[in-house]
Amino acid sequence: MKKSLSLLVFLICAGLWSVAQANRPADLQTVLNLMDRTAASLRTVETDFTWDDFERVVNNHDYQKGVMYFSRSGKDVQMSAEIRQPAPKFVLFKAGTVRVYEPRIDQVTVYNVGKNKADFEAFLVLGFGGAGRDLARNFDVRYAGSEQVAGVTAYKLELIPKTASARNNFPLIALWIDADRGIAVQQRFDQGGGNYRLAQYSNIKLNQKLPDGVFTQKTTGKTRTVRPQGGM
């Protein structure tokens, strides 16, 4: 009887401890560790997105919607975004080059990120396979609590870039990290002066086979190619 009672007490206490752990508020290190675990196994991402570019001076929101793909193999990162609304546009990052194809004018604009490749990739993988330890290396990071984003419990992180050049572009960045999967469900890039880009992600698929050809742009025989001076 005593053994049974002791076992019952142990099981109840263990259950209460597990509940307490599950409900324990996160802290910064908890979130960074979660992102580390996700980064260790992440190979591909497919997600729908909505980008909201807000310009304060004219009080204007510019919305773009589409689907985005990521692929990681070692240190090699590829990204493709198919913007479907309001006008078709295709953005491809591959081998240190960004290619923006606009079918309506049949033009590809090519940017070479050059010596900024490492910084560019650091921003590219924010919340999409970037490890927590790398986040802390490139940004001053603050944990800002948890919030609900489109029905998902998310940990909010506020980032201040450590380099002056990055801070000139984005003085403050906010990430909302899915508390279960360690992936971004929302990002906000503040650009100063009240301007920002808010990115929201849904229908996120991790480590699934991506559609064929997502990292190849389908142009025409008459496509014009433009290469701006100075790169990015």
Cα angle, residue 166 at apex, residues 72 and 99 outer, rounded to 5°: 50
Angle at 214 between CA 211 and CA 217, to 5 degrees: 145
Beginning with the edge strand found earlier in the chain, give each strand of the sheet holding 184-192 in spatial order: 139-149, 152-161, 172-178, 184-192, 195-206, 44-55, 60-73, 76-85, 89-94, 97-102, 107-112, 224-226
Residue 2's pLDDT is: 40
26-226 CATH: 2.50.20.10
Is 0.95 surpassed by the pTM of this model?
A: no
Which phi and psi angles does 75 have, rounded to 5°? Answer: -95, 0
Long-range contacts of 105-110 (CB under 8 A, 24+ apart): 105/224, 106/219, 106/220, 106/222, 106/223, 106/224, 107/223, 107/224, 107/225, 107/226, 108/217, 108/219, 108/223, 108/224, 108/225, 108/226, 109/225, 109/226, 109/227, 109/228, 110/225, 110/226, 110/227
pLDDT in tens, the chain (232 residues): 444 434 333 333 333 333 333 344 579 999 999 999 999 999 999 999 999 999 999 999 999 999 999 998 877 889 999 999 999 999 999 988 999 999 999 999 999 887 777 777 778 888 888 889 888 888 999 999 999 999 999 999 999 999 888 898 899 999 999 999 999 999 999 999 999 999 999 999 999 999 999 999 999 999 999 999 755 5
Instruction: Give the contacts of 139 (CB within 8 A, at least 6 positions apart).
Output: 159, 160, 161, 162, 173
User: Could you state, in order of their start, the residue ranges of all structural domains in the chain?
Assistant: 26-226
Chain segment 188-223, per-residue pLDDT in tens:
999 999 999 999 999 999 999 999 999 999 999 999
